[in-house]
Amino acid sequence: MNRWRKAFTILAATAMGALALPAAATASTEPEPVQYVALGDSYASGVGAGDYIPDGTLCLRSNNAYSAIWADDTGADLDFQACGGAQIPDVYSSQIDALDEETDLVTISIGGNDVGFAGIMIGCTVLPDFACIDKVDKAEADGRDRVAGELEQLYADLDAAAPNATVVVMGYPKLFSEVTCSYNAGISVAEQRRINDGVLVMDSIIREAAEAQGFRYADPVPTFEGHGSCAHPMYVHGLRGFAPESYHPTSLGQSDGFLPAFETAL
């Protein structure tokens, strides 16, 4: 009897040791980093946030962009494709090829340049109120009549290019606190209100197209509230000596405006 009990004890100990080995190996295995591709325009690339990456392009990709901050915090493998000035055709020509079946996460903001963002801001700085408001009216109509359909097609193509990815579509923040200061000289309070309202219209177009595709929509309007141009602190620059940064998010806008909105959507 003692001999059988001894044999059983040895067998049991051996079996438990064999079971313990895979558990130890599993515990020591590092998880694969998230494969993250950031697409889009200047609001996605971080124009205005400084600390630009010297990558030989004019994209003004910033280490302070929310995508770069999130990737650094989480250890994600970031493929930073977003580029200042990008429109929907640019996503097709120079960004979408970064996506594949291995892509885990995609973010994108696009559409503002397609309705003439830069021309609106220049026009509203130098033209009277009625001319500025007319520009915004036309941009809204273009957004509804043309850009909405182009966004729907783009989102479908992103889904096909990265079928296993979570896609987060970032909206745009309101730019103004609707007061006058030296940072937005030339843009009246009435013009600021009309531009802010136009941003909300564009956001609604983007959101509808994104959610129709099953993508997640990140809304930065609440996190930027009270921090437009002329506020303290400002999350959006006013007119800048380095013109491309004008009316773009500051580094605080990226870290305290866009990043929380993105994390909420995730």
**C-alpha to C-alpha distance for 199 and 172, rounded to whole angstroms:** 7
68 and 193 share a domain? yes
Is 227 noted as a catalytic residue in this protein? Answer: no
> Tell me, what CATH number does 196's domain have?
3.40.50.1110
Q: What pLDDT is stored for residue 22 in this prediction? A: 41
The total of structural domains in the chain comes to 2
113 and 212 share a domain? yes
Q: What pLDDT is stored for residue 11 in this prediction? A: 37
Mean pLDDT by 10 residues, the chain (266 residues): 38 36 53 96 98 97 98 98 98 98 98 97 96 98 98 98 98 96 92 98 98 98 97 96 96 98 97
10 and 37 share a domain? no
3-state secondary structure of 166: strand
- Residue numbers of the domain that contains 119: 33-265
147 and 107 share a domain? yes
The pTM score is 0.88
User: What does the DSSP 8-state code read for residue 144?
Assistant: I
- Which of 42, 45, 177, 229 is the catalytic position? 42
Inter-residue contact 251 to 196 (CB < 8 Å)? no
Is 67 noted as a catalytic residue in this protein? Answer: no
Angle at 174 between CA 243 and CA 159, to 5 degrees: 95
73 and 205 share a domain? yes
25 and 39 share a domain? no
- Which of 109, 227, 229, 248 is the catalytic position? 248
Q: What pLDDT is stored for residue 28 in this prediction? A: 59
48 and 20 share a domain? no
The two three-digit tokens of residue 129, written as one number: 């109120």
Q: What pLDDT is stored for residue 163 in this prediction? A: 98
